[in-house]
Structure 1
Amino acid sequence: MPHELFRHKGHACLMFSDLSDEGGGAVQANQFLIVNDDTGAIIDPGGNLAYSELYLGMTRHFPPNRLSAILASHADPDIIASLDRWMTATPDAKLYVSTLWERFVPHFCKPGKTTGRVVGIPDQGMRIPIGNSELIALPAHFMHAEGNFQFYDPLSRILFSGDLGVSFTTGKQAQQAITSLMPMPAGMEAFHRRYMVSNKVLRFWARMVRQLPIDMIVPQHGAPLQGAAIQQFIEWVEGLSCGVDLMTDASYAIPR
Structure 2
Amino acid sequence: MSQLLYDNGTHKCIAFTDLVEGEGIQANQFLIVNNGEGMLLDPGGNLTYKNLLAEMASYFLPAHLDYVFASHEDPDIVASANGWLLITDAKILIANEWTRFLPHFCSKGMTAGRVIGIPAQGMRVNLAGQELFVVPAHYMHSVGNFQVYDPVSKILFSGDLGANLVSGHDAAKVIEGAEAFAAHRAATSMDGFHRRYMGGQKVCRLWTNMARGMDIEWIVPQHGASFKGRETVLAFLDWFEGLESGPDLLTQKDFQFPIPENL
- TM-score, normalised with respect to structure 2: 0.94
| TM-superposition CA deviations, 1:134-184 (whole Å, max 9, x none) | 221100000000110010000000000000001111231111111132222
Give 1:25 deviation, angstroms: 2.2
Whole-angstrom CA distance in 2 between matches of 1:165 and 1:106: 28
User: What residue is the counterpart of 2:49 in the other structure?
Assistant: 51
1:93-242 alignment to 2 at 5 Å? 93-179=90-176, 180-183=180-183, 184=185, 185-227=187-229, 228-242=231-245
Deviations 1:194-234 (A, max 9, x none): 00010100100000011111110000000111122211111
Which string of whole-angstrom CA distances, capped at 9 and with x for unpartnered residues, describes residues 27-84 of structure 1? 1100001100120110000010000010111112100111000000001000001111
Provide the alpha-carbon RMSD of the alignment: 0.9
State how far apart, in whole Å, the 2-side matches of 1:244 and 1:181 are.
26
Correspondence for 1:246 among 235, 245, 249: 249
Unaligned runs of 5+ in 2: none
The alpha carbon displacement at 1:131 in A equals: 1.0
Output the CA distance in 2 between the equivalents of 1:9 and 1:134. 17
Structure 2 Cα separation of the partners of residues 167 and 133 of structure 1: 30
Q: Post-superposition shift, 1:113?
A: 0.3
Task: Please tell me whether the aligned partners of residues 139 and 148 of structure 1 are also in contact (alpha carbons under 8 angstroms).
Answer: yes
One-letter code aligned to 2:242: G
Per the normalisation by structure 1, the TM-score is 0.97
Query: In 2, distance between residues paired with 1:36 and 1:124?
Result: 24
Matches within 5 A, 1:64-83: 64-83=62-81
Cα shift readout 1:79-109 (whole Å, capped 9, x = no counterpart): 001111111111x211000000011101100
Partner of residue 86, structure 1: 84
Alpha-carbon distance in structure 1 between the residues aligned to 2:117 and 2:168: 31
After the TM superposition, which parts of structure 1 deviate over 3 Å for at least 4 consecutive aligned residues? none
SS state at 1:96 partner? strand
CA-CA distance at 1:187 after TM superposition: 2.2
Q: CA separation in 1, counterparts of 2:45 and 2:233?
A: 28
| Residues 6, 156 of structure 1: 8 Å contact kept | yes
Question: 2:236 and 2:168 mapped to 1: Cα distance?
Answer: 21
- Counterparts of 1:98 and 1:115, CA distance in 2: 16
Contact persistence 1:144–1:196 (CA under 8 A): yes
Number of the residue aligned with 2:3: 3
Identical amino acids, percent of aligned pairs: 47
In 2: Cα distance, 1:75 partner to 1:117 partner:
16
**Aligned partners of 2:226 and 2:127: how far apart in 1?**
22
